[in-house]
């Protein structure tokens, strides 16, 4: 790996970036030629890819795997750069939904090429989901100002319902997970999944509390540690995020994304040996997958 100068961030050459991403150097150069990103070059004209480039390219690789043509990806990125201004592309989630490319910033979903905002559910399906939640929800005794009687549904049933509602109606799904926790405050699934929904909605403090409650009841829960790491990164706390990723890996060594994120943080911290080790594990797991 090339040594970085003290006054500049670490970088990867074309061969290194291609190995990390699991693509050929030729494919990587095609992405640059199509305008998917504009990495700087060293004095000898060699491309230099930074951390943000790797994150963006990883997303682009996912779009190409879904059959999205490179020229369309280039148009989408051009539109996104105009739409988000000074914000970094790495702050967005970009994915293929059928034939269209969708961007998500944690609150809104839209098609970058058209600028059209999208809803992740249909009104009729929300009504059906809301009716189901209402049917299961506890009711007050008529004419009595007393705590509601417990619902008949179990915590597991509330979680099942919440998972059905997550993509159709996140608000109703949150309500269902909260009902599950009323029935069983130790439900790790409810804490983790509710934390994910709150995290996606930008409610980082509440999300962290639920991740940590999940870990209180299941200290070796890999996904809870991984989600907590992502959240801490989003809160600009990399020194706390890295141990969370390591705990996730200790609980489940096959969690590829935890290795990838840990590698990036180790690289930023100048701990190149650990970064290379985790990148190598990530590539091996991705090949198997």
pLDDT tens-digit series, residues 153-187: 678 888 888 887 777 677 778 888 888 898 899 99
Chain-wide mean pLDDT for the chain? 77
Residues paired with residue 49 on neighbouring β-strands, in sequence order: 12
Distance from C-alpha of 200 to C-alpha of 204, rounded to nearest angstrom: 8
Judge whether residue 240 has pLDDT over 90: yes
Q: Are 47 and 36 in contact (CB under 8 A)?
A: no
DSSP per position, 80-136: HHHHHTTS-GGGSEEEEETTEEEEE-SS-EEETTTTEEE-SS-HHHHHHHHHHHHHH
Class of domain 14-91 (CATH, top level): mainly alpha
Quickly state the pLDDT bin for 53 (edges 50, 70, 90): confident
Residues paired with residue 94 on neighbouring β-strands, in sequence order: 103
Q: Which CATH superfamily, name and number, covers 123-138+151-288?
A: Tetratricopeptide repeat domain (1.25.40.10)
Which tens digit of pLDDT belongs to each residue from 31-40? Answer: 888 777 788 8
Q: Are 37 and 73 in contact (CB under 8 A)?
A: no
Residues composing the chain? 289
- Rounded (5°) CA angle 211-52-244: 25
Quickly state the pLDDT bin for 111 (edges 50, 70, 90): confident
The alpha carbon torsion through 222, 223, 228, 229 (nearest 10 deg) reads 70
Which residue ranges make up each domain of the chain? 14-91, 123-138+151-288
Distance from C-alpha of 115 to C-alpha of 83, rounded to nearest angstrom: 8
Task: Give the mean model confidence (pLDDT) for residues 59-69.
Answer: 77
Quickly state the pLDDT bin for 116 (edges 50, 70, 90): low
Quickly state the pLDDT bin for 149 (edges 50, 70, 90): very low
How buried is residue 3: exposed, middle or buried, by Cβ count under 10 Å (0-12/13-18/19+)?
A: exposed
Q: Are 125 and 169 in contact (CB under 8 A)?
A: yes
């Amino acid at each position: 790996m090339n040594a970085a100068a003290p006054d500049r961030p670490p970088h990867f050459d074309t061969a290194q970036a291609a190995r990390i991403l699991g693509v050929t150097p030729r494919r990587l150069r095609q992405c640059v030629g199509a305008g998917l990103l504009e990495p700087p070059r060293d004095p000898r004209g060699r491309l230099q890819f930074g951390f943000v480039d790797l994150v963006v390219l990883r997303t682009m690789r996912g779009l190409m795997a879904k059959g999205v043509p490179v020229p369309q990806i280039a148009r989408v990125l051009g539109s996104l750069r105009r739409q988000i201004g000074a914000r970094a592309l790495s702050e967005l989630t970009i994915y293929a939904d059928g034939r269209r490319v969708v961007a998500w910033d944690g609150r809104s979903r839209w098609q970058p090429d058209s600028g059209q905002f999208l809803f992740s559910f249909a009104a009729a399906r929300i009504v059906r989901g809301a009716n189901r939640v209402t049917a299961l929800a506890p009711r007050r005794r008529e004419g009595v100002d007393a705590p509601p009687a417990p619902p008949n549904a179990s915590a597991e049933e509330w979680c099942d319902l919440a998972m059905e509602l997550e993509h159709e109606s996140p608000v109703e799904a949150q309500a269902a997970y909260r009902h599950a926790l009323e029935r069983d405050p130790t439900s790790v699934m409810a804490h983790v999944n509710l934390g994910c929904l709150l995290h996606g909605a930008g409610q980082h403090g509440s999300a962290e509390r639920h991740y940590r409650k999940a870990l209180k009841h299941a200290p070796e829960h890999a996904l809870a540690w991984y989600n907590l790491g992502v959240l801490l990164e989003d809160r600009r706390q990399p020194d706390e995020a890295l141990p969370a990723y390591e705990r996730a890996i200790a609980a489940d060594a096959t969690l590829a994304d935890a290795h990838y994120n840990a590698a990036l943080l180790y690289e930023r911290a100048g701990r190149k040996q650990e970064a290379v080790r985790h990148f190598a594990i990530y590539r091996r797991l991705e090949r198997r997958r």
